């Protein structure tokens, strides 16, 4: 590696994702606009060249880099709650009307890019803002579950920043907005590869206040449980617009400990999913205990009118489990989520 053969930038993925249905958010600063604007243009044009539809690229701006994480998180969460992105965002966080195209984009963002430029001055302001912004943008991705690309240049001089935007005075340099767009598209691909749920048209509820959800899962047979847990969480947030902050995950050491954790969630959740995988060939398998667990979970809704959904799979072996998961049209997580919404809606209606 090195010399003329060295290529700086994001390596292409091994297989391509159809990007035509992706929705990408770009939030950028108005500070240092002579450098930021080319970065935004580079990111936007690259996204379109990768197949993202122009009307699915939402561009918003904020005054400075310190405001990037807050605005990005607000926009992402509102999109996950099926909120109209144009009318509902606080005006002082976003750009003036007419600055950018305002598509009536509904539905969650698949990725976000935060773009800004910080240039070191003669005080410690640069260090404080750089650290706060980097940590803030990282938290946006972790808290919302949406891949969030760090597109903030932290440079020592104006020339360094201009070269990294492709508008250098002597050496034009390379526009890093191209790399950030490529990374955003690639991260959506990686995210979907880990949680293999297909986008499809479903009847989505319009929540005034999304229900609080508890997911209790067993640590036993984790290799089989993890894809189901991730798929259910993704299904709830991506296809049914539950708020990620309203989904609480709780791990039980054993499947037989699950009722205890469900009881704790009784006062804090409006919907509870119970996930577990039990193999009849396991040395710890006891049919009477599994039957008792199932009966206990089934009794909870009758006691406290709390919708609790038994998603415990009892199979002979891993091969039988895999066959069952694959034969369900749309995926088990989709079936569980739809059943939960139907039941919650029915229970929420006042009795006549």
Q: Which two tokens stand for residue 163?
A: 């070269």
Report whether 136 contacts 69 (CB < 8 A).
Answer: yes
* CA–CA distance, 241 with 236 (Å, rounded to integer): 6
Mean pLDDT of 178-184: 92
Report whether 206 contacts 171 (CB < 8 A).
Answer: no
Report whether 78 contacts 85 (CB < 8 A).
Answer: yes
Q: Residue 179 — very low, low, confident or very high, per pLDDT cuts 50/70/90?
A: very high
* Least trusted range by pLDDT, from 43-52, 93-102, 280-289, 334-343: 93-102
Question: Does the pLDDT at position 336 exceed 80?
Answer: yes
pLDDT at 103: 41
pLDDT at 193: 47
Instruction: Return the ∠ at Cα 148 (arms to 166 and 178), rounded to 5°.
Output: 20
- Closest alpha carbon to 72 in 130, 147, 125, 10: 147
The residue ranking higher by pLDDT, 220 or 267, is 220
Task: Given the residues 125, 135, 264, 324, select the one marked as catalytic.
Answer: 125
Render 216-254 in DSSP notation, one character per residue.
EEESTTHHHHHHHHHHHHHIIIIIS---GGGEEEEEESS
Is-catalytic flag, 125? yes
Global pTM reads 0.53
Q: Give the number of C-alpha atoms closer than 13 A to the C-alpha of residue 104, restricted to the C-beta side.
A: 0
The residue ranking higher by pLDDT, 165 or 89, is 165
Mean pLDDT of 57-83: 86
- Closest alpha carbon to 311 in 228, 219, 242, 221: 228
- Closest alpha carbon to 240 in 273, 266, 201, 270: 201
Q: Residue 65 — very low, low, confident or very high, per pLDDT cuts 50/70/90?
A: very high
Question: Does the pLDDT at position 102 exceed 90?
Answer: no
- Closest alpha carbon to 188 in 223, 224, 238: 238
DSSP three-state, residue 15: coil
DSSP three-state, residue 160: helix
pLDDT at 81: 66
**Mean pLDDT, all residues of the chain:** 78
Mean pLDDT of 209-223: 83
């Amino acid at each position: 590696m090195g010399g003329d053969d060295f290529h700086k930038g994001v390596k292409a993925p091994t297989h391509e994702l159809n990007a035509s249905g992706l929705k990408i958010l770009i939030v950028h600063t108005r500070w240092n606009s002579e450098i930021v604007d080319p970065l935004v243009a580079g990111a936007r044009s690259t996204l379109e060249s990768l197949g993202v539809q122009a009307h699915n690229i939402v561009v918003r701006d904020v005054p400075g880099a310190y405001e990037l994480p807050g605005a990005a998180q607000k926009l992402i969460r509102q999109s996950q709650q099926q909120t109209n992105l144009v009318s509902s965002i606080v005006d002082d966080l976003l750009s003036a009307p007419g600055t950018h195209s305002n598509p009536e984009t509904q539905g969650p963002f698949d990725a976000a890019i935060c773009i800004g430029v910080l240039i070191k001055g003669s005080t410690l302001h640069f260090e404080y803002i750089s650290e706060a912004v980097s940590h803030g943008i990282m938290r946006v991705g972790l808290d919302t579950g949406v891949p969030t690309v760090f597109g903030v240049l932290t440079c020592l001089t104006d020339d360094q920043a201009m070269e990294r935007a492709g508008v250098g005075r002597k050496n034009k340099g390379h526009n890093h907005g191209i790399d950030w767009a490529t990374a955003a598209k690639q991260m959506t691909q990686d995210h979907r590869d880990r949680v293999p749920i297909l986008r499809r048209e479903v009847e989505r509820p319009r929540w005034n206040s999304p229900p609080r959800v508890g997911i209790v899962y067993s640590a036993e047979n984790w290799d089989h449980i993890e894809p189901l847990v991730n798929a259910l969480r993704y299904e709830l947030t991506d296809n049914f617009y539950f708020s990620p902050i309203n989904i609480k995950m709780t791990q039980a050491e054993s499947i037989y400990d699950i009722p205890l954790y469900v009881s704790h969630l009784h006062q804090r959740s409006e919907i509870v999913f119970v996930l577990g995988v039990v193999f009849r060939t396991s040395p710890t398998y006891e049919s009477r205990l599994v039957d008792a667990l199932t009966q206990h979970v089934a009794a909870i809704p009758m006691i406290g009118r709390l919708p609790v959904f038994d998603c415990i799979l009892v199979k002979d072996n891993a091969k039988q489990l895999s066959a069952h998961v694959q034969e369900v049209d749309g995926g088990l997580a989709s079936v569980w989520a739809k059943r939960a919404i139907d039941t919650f809606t029915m229970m929420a209606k006042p009795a006549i």
